[in-house]
Homo-oligomer: A and B are copies of this chain.
């Protein structure tokens, strides 16, 4: 039997144990793991150094090495994240609906764990701990398939997690790490219907697309964001500047950062040259439509491919539009249904934009950078769902649960 199937089966065997745990038992286990990770800090850093060494030998990019690197401060942060998860309310067992039928049937819809969750991710070893914590808190077993570049770190982290779990009510088999670094192990996970209840990809768009295109197991698609900000004719110039700069440069590498600025022609005529200079001062390259380049000759011409690109970088597309309709049509064509914003003083336009733009989060007069589980007050984030089924937008703990109808009768039969 393959490693993937074997470990998924082991995880499946503890699902009923996990179903029976109390919130206190789960929290105690998370706190025990947090403590063990801090105690094992130097061991983890030694293992991480092996990964970094291998990465440097293979010519891995500096930004990837940075994502991979652990230090005492980061490990402390990871452990702290687990303590925060322990502090959150446990959604499992919540009653979602109660139905009393005329025939006397009493139906309760209750939140239950999903079962076994597969997580496919890349180089960041913090995802190993974070995903484990979120899954265990919600009573799920988890099968982790991290990037091969972090394998030594992940092995050590899982060893420490397993040791810590031994003294808790959570079975060690609830946490599985796939060590096979080949692409085949990912492909196998994606087809494990009946053993995995869901697969969640966490990483860049090629990883996500591979999962979406090849999985027969249900998937929660996360991530890709070509986010727009539309500065309407009536936008307050100061607010428009502040929101659009924030959406682009506060952290360009993330999915809720802006990729394209849409500007109403009347706003552009008065304010765009100033705004463009502010972007230039912040080190942002502008790629614009013809009208943009008439106002700002130093902007590079923008192609349809540019409008369809998630740069995650200091590059911004600009398009000057005639009206709200043109802005909405552009977003319909190029948006990824993640986060979109209108800056306007016109309430009617704001309402139309928020109703007609099809995205997980639609903002009026606020930066798209707020699309985030912590910023929404969820206390945790599994990711940002860009699909419409099950969960949409920032996902908190309830996104890792399902429901079950529990029906009490006294002999009812169907007529």
CB-contact partner of A392 in B358, B387, B404, under 8 A = B404
A163 at the interface (CB under 8 A from B): no
Residues facing B in A329-387 (CB within 8 A) are 332, 354-356, 358-367, 369-371, 375-377, 387
Taking CB atoms, residues of chain B closer than 8 Å to A212 are 193, 216
User: Given A212-B216, A359-B404, A392-B404, are A414 and B370 also a contact pair (CB < 8 Å)?
Assistant: yes
- B376 touching A107, Cβ below 8 Å: yes
User: Given A370-B414, A376-B107, are A220 and B389 also a contact pair (CB < 8 Å)?
Assistant: yes
A99 at the interface (CB under 8 A from B): yes
User: Given A105-B370, A242-B411, are A360 and B405 also a contact pair (CB < 8 Å)?
Assistant: yes
Residues facing B in A38-93 (CB within 8 A) are none
Q: How far is the CA of A197 from the CA of B386 in the complex (A)?
A: 11
User: Given A101-B375, A114-B388, A413-B369, are A362 and B198 also a contact pair (CB < 8 Å)?
Assistant: no
Taking CB atoms, residues of chain B closer than 8 Å to A115 are 358, 388
Q: Is the interface of A mostly helix, strand, loop or mixed?
A: mixed
CB-contact partner of A101 in B358, B377, B390, B410, under 8 A = B377
- A388 touching B402, Cβ below 8 Å: yes
Number of interface residues of A (CB under 8 A): 69
- A377 touching B15, Cβ below 8 Å: no
- B414 touching A375, Cβ below 8 Å: yes
A102 to chain B, nearest CB (A): 9
A164 at the interface (CB under 8 A from B): no
A303 at the interface (CB under 8 A from B): no
- A367 touching B239, Cβ below 8 Å: no
Residues facing B in A210-231 (CB within 8 A) are 212-213, 216, 218-220
Taking CB atoms, residues of chain B closer than 8 Å to A273 are none
- Most chain B C-beta atoms within 10 Å of own C-beta, residue among A364, A377, A414: A414
Residues facing B in A80-133 (CB within 8 A) are 99, 101, 105, 107, 109, 112, 114-115
- B250 touching A414, Cβ below 8 Å: yes
User: Given A212-B216, A356-B20, A414-B375, are A407 and B366 also a contact pair (CB < 8 Å)?
Assistant: yes
Q: How far is the CA of A366 from the CA of B20 in the complex (A)?
A: 24
Cβ-closest chain B residue relative to A411: B239
A64 to chain B, nearest CB (A): 25
Cβ-closest chain B residue relative to A108: B354
- Most chain B C-beta atoms within 10 Å of own C-beta, residue among A107, A354, A370, A405: A405
Residues facing B in A233-288 (CB within 8 A) are 236, 239, 242-243, 246, 250-251
Cβ-closest chain B residue relative to A250: B414
- A19 touching B101, Cβ below 8 Å: no
